[in-house]
Amino acid sequence: MTELVLESPRARGLFVLTAHPEGCRVLAQRQIERAAAAFEKPLSGAQGKTALVLGSTSFGYGSSTAIALRQAGFERIIGIGYETAPAFRGEKLAMSSPGWYLTDTLHAGDEAFQTYLGDAFAATTRDRVVADLRAQGVAIDLVVYSVAAPRRSHLGQEWNSSLLVMGEPLEVLGLAYKSGELEPIRVEAADALAVENTVRVMGGDDLEMWVSALLYSGLAAEGMTVTALSYIGPELEPLRRMYWDGALGAAKKHIDATTAALDARVAASVGGKAFTVMNPAVVTAASVAIPAMLRYVSDYLGCDDAGKGVYADPLDIGIDFTRALYGEGEPWRGQLDEAGRLRLDGRELEPGLQATIAELWSEGEPGPPPEITAQGLKRFKREYAMLYGWQVEGVDYSAPYAVDPELGEGQRVFDLLG
Ligand SMILES: NC(=O)c1ccc[n+]([C@@H]2O[C@H](COP(=O)([O-])OP(=O)(O)OC[C@H]3O[C@@H](n4cnc5c(N)ncnc54)[C@H](O)[C@@H]3O)[C@@H](O)[C@H]2O)c1
């Protein structure tokens, strides 16, 4: 193993190339501790169960849901994520993903975790996971679909997703990450092909294939629950146009249609259920990439700091998810909306908070943003850095740490990409 001092990240634009191993370890450990405190006693409905979490390896919704499920009593977590090993240029660290260090931490000292590093969209990944589950005699009680990807290949075809709107182009004041100023942005309109391609990547095709594979191979446990994480967002017009009414929303509507169809199938086959889960907006790489989202999430964080709303991070939502599904009295039944989706986005959509955000948007002029937005952006930047293990309180960035911990079969990690 190589020990190095990493004082600051290598980055290309906003894209952070090198994660900090100790920062990621500390963050993951804190999440485990928070989840353990939330579930002082295991939930009886969760005990002994096995989850398949697709998209489990970044500091996003998949891993935090997995951590919460485990602390609530799940016996086994089968994770899948797209991660590659740290890479060097000469003696220097050239690339390292937070997912590598997060996976290392989750696996160290907890045999419940079994992770596949591979392309979830590839039939070979699915075949391998199914073969291993068969050999181990393990059936799946819960599927959590949390993949977020820019492209997908299937049977020799490749699709790219896009962040475009429908109808007329959208012109709006966004927030510039670097300068922190409000500035006009223009989002072009998608044509039918761009929408179709986005649906093929971020829609329900892949989820449908995973669930079919479990059903056909007899690996769906009695009562299996299938969930797909999604986002609907506020009614604030630019956000609605950008997301739910845009190309991405078309894909998310396809997810809704897929879970509705799967609900009937898993009910008939194993007495199970399937639904979409509407999660709130959180700080991720996607929030920087999606136009207008950075301004909106910064407003949300700023409002939380100013006591005008409550921000929930992915672990809060992972805990809410676990309680909804496995808490006493099947709480999820009372948390479905009229379309049958589990709603965990109540804090974000709280009317008072939304009214404050709408007011901030109605007043904006190009240039310095309102104080709440500026404060929110500061916090956004800190939380964004933390997704890569940087700016984590209590970590000594002048000390050397092992930057290439081994993840292999000994750690129950199966690298299908290497
Ligand atoms: N970020 C938000 O604000 C937000 C809000 C509501 C809902 N959601 C939804 O939650 C889900 C997860 O989003 P996130 O923000 O946690 O994303 P993320 O980028 O943090 O995590 C995505 C995961 O998918 C994995 N992945 C990507 N491509 C893959 C591939 N080809 N094969 C295997 N794994 C692959 C990554 O390795 C990672 O583990 C998405 O469906 C997203 O729409 C996100």
Domain ranges of the chain: 3-159+196-235+243-281+312-345+389-415
- Which of 271, 296, 257 lies closest to 380 in space, CA to CA? 296
Residues designated as active site: 243
Digitized pLDDT (tens) for each residue of the chain, 418 residues in all:
899 999 999 999 888 999 999 999 999 999 999 999 999 999 999 999 999 999 999 999 999 999 999 999 999 999 999 999 999 999 999 999 999 999 999 999 899 999 999 999 999 999 999 999 999 999 999 999 999 999 999 989 999 999 999 999 999 999 999 999 999 999 999 999 999 999 999 999 999 999 999 999 999 999 999 999 999 999 999 999 999 999 999 999 999 999 999 999 999 999 999 999 999 999 987 788 887 999 999 999 999 999 999 999 999 999 999 999 999 999 999 999 999 999 999 999 999 999 999 999 998 789 999 999 999 999 999 999 999 999 999 999 999 999 999 999 999 999 999 7
Q: Which atom of ligand 1 is nearest to the CA of 345?
A: 6
Other Cβ atoms less than 10 A from the Cβ of 316: the count is 19
What CA–CA distance (Å, rounded) separates 292 from 312? 20
* Torsion sign across C-alpha atoms 281, 244, 57, 110: positive
Q: Which atom of ligand 1 is nearest to the CA of 148?
A: 22
231 lines ligand 1 (CB under 6 A): yes
Q: Which residues of 229-255 are buried (b: 16+ CB within 10 A; e: fewer)?
A: bbbbbbebebbbbbbbbbbbbbbbbbb
Q: Which atom of ligand 1 is nearest to the CA of 284?
A: 1
Q: Which two tokens stand for residue 63?
A: 């891993």
What CA–CA distance (Å, rounded) separates 96 from 351? 41
Other Cβ atoms less than 10 A from the Cβ of 157: the count is 9
Terminal-residue alpha carbon distance, the chain: 18
Helix, strand and coil in the chain, % to nearest 5 = 40, 20, 35
What is the value of pTM for the model shown? Answer: 0.98
- Measured in Å, residue 229 CA sits from the centre of ligand 1 at 9
Q: Ligand 1 pocket test: which of 16, 145, 231 has the largest number of ligand atoms within 8 Å of its C-beta?
A: 231
Q: How far is CA 149 from CA 84, 109, 202, 418, in A?
A: 15, 30, 7, 19
284 lines ligand 1 (CB under 6 A): yes
- Which of 220, 230, 282 lies closest to 255 in space, CA to CA? 230
Residue 107 contacts residue 413 (beta carbons within 8 Å):
yes
Q: Ligand 1 pocket test: which of 146, 299, 384 has the largest number of ligand atoms within 8 Å of its C-beta?
A: 146
- Measured in Å, residue 314 CA sits from the centre of ligand 1 at 11
- Measured in Å, residue 228 CA sits from the centre of ligand 1 at 11
- Measured in Å, residue 74 CA sits from the centre of ligand 1 at 22
145 lines ligand 1 (CB under 6 A): no
Name the CATH code of domain 3-159+196-235+243-281+312-345+389-415 (choices 3.30.1340.10, 3.90.480.10, 3.10.20.90, 3.40.50.720). Answer: 3.40.50.720
